[in-house]
Structure 1
Amino acid sequence: MRQAHHPEPSEITLTGVMAALSDPIRVGLVRVLADGRERGWGELRAPVAKSTLSHHLRVLRDAGLTRTRQEGTRCFVLLRREDLQTRFPGLLEVVLVAAEADDVGRQVGVKDGALSR
């Protein structure tokens, strides 16, 4: 895997973030990652093919919502909560509360027995 590009906080745009959050699977991934734990891609559970999950994770990374780190052959993902809070104060919390209220992304989770880092 080549080195992933992560936008600088000043490069994160509202329209990019909102576009990335326009899919329920991606909202579910953000909900899972909102606990602040770094997760291995293999720990994530979603009702999509691995290639589709990889696409969703790339969309979140490209929009500046997540940071991806490679360790050997494994990839790990972390929500960029502080960067998002600095750039758009309160936005992430509002999205998470609304997603919880409407149960958006409920089908996304962590595999049973997955250890968090």
Structure 2
Amino acid sequence: MEELRLETVLAALADPLRLSIIRKLLLESEAYDHPCGWFGIDRPKSSLTHHFKALREAGLIRQRQYGLERRSRVRTEDLDARFPGLLALVKSWKPGAP
């Protein structure tokens, strides 16, 4: 948790696609983790791999390997402890809103 850096987290969230991925994970957090295909994002697999890697390296998500797929989950406990209120802002963000 101490390795989480605000500038790194904010840089990862600055991309609208990554922000929407984190928001969707937060809104659907009752299931433990989700495969990349669950998001329904119409992008090449290499592009999605890049975005999930950026989120993982920024410390926003954890990923588990299940066979050939990786499943993702937001590190809510760590992020809430380190940056109180940040995930609440992300969760309340409305895509396309000013």
User: What interval of TM-score do these two structures reach, taking the shorter chain for normalisation?
Assistant: 0.7 to 0.9
**How many residues are matched?**
93
Cα shift at 1:48: 1.8
Q: Comparing both structures, which one devotes a greater share of its residues to helix? A: 2
Q: In 2, Cα distance between the equivalents of 1:62 and 1:22?
A: 14
Between 1 and 2, higher relative CO (CA 8 Å, sep ≥ 6) is seen in: 1
TM-score by length of 2: 0.87
**Please, what is the CA RMSD of the aligned residues?**
1.2
Matches within 5 A, 1:6-25: 9-25=1-17
Aligned partner of 1:54 among 25, 39, 49: 49
Q: In 1, Cα distance between the equivalents of 2:65 and 2:21?
A: 18
TM-score by length of 1: 0.74
> Percent same amino acid at aligned positions?
40
Runs of 4+ off more than 6 Å: none
Cα shift at 1:75: 1.0
The unaligned stretches of length 5 or more in structure 1 are: 1-8, 105-117
Aligned-partner SS, 2:71:
strand
The unaligned stretches of length 5 or more in structure 2 are: none
